[in-house]
Amino acid sequence: MLFSFIFAAFDLNNLLEFNRTLVEQGELWRLFTSQFVHANYAHLGLNCLGIFLIWLLHGEYTSARRYAFNVSVLAVWCGLGVYLFCPSIHIYTGLSALLHGVIIWGAVKDTTLGLKSGYLLFVGVWIKIVMEQINGPDASIGKLINSTVAIDAHLIGAIGGTLLAIPLVVTYLKNKNAT
């Protein structure tokens, strides 16, 4: 959140946003940094609210190191995913794709700790993703952030979070079978 606020305060979107043309010209950092800049302060505020809610849900078992690792991996994953699989997206900003991945990882972590709410959260996020794919982006959110909601990026983020959680499931199953 701190980086996102700094980037917004100094109006660094032109330097950091995903810009397909500039990425193709070699500005590869944009694949990563685009996750941390926003269309406007409403967009930033919504994403910060998401971070806060995720931290409330999963903060007690997510160390700063683990969170930084997950965020970094998902930032690269989402940037590459948008580049490779969303050719119609020319400009992209925002944490929401990455946040979908973080919340999926947290939901899986919940399940490995025996919390039934993890299953509900995991399924709920995937239902949201499917509904977005069927119905398209939420127009009211798009109006609020003055940008098109990149629902395909949400899908990419959720897939990334699911893949990132595979080691949790493997460890859980190994420990369960050992007892």
**Predicted pLDDT of residue 168:** 95
Helices (H), the chain: 2-9, 13-16, 20-24, 29-33, 41-58, 64-85, 96-112, 116-135, 139-145, 151-164, 166-178
- Over the stretch 119-143, which tens digit does the pLDDT of each residue have? 999 999 999 999 999 999 888 888 8
- Over the stretch 47-105, which tens digit does the pLDDT of each residue have? 999 999 988 988 887 888 998 999 999 999 999 999 999 999 999 999 999 999 999 99
Q: What is the pTM of this model?
A: 0.93
- Domain ranges within the chain, ordered by starting residue: 41-81+95-178
Task: State mean pLDDT over 5-23.
Answer: 94
Query: C-alpha 102: how far from its chain's center?
Result: 6
Please, are residues 106 and 55 in contact by the beta-carbon 8 Å criterion?
Answer: no
How far lies 121's CA from each of 82, 100, 141, 177, in Å? 24, 11, 21, 25
Q: How far apart are CA 165 and CA 173, in angstroms?
A: 13
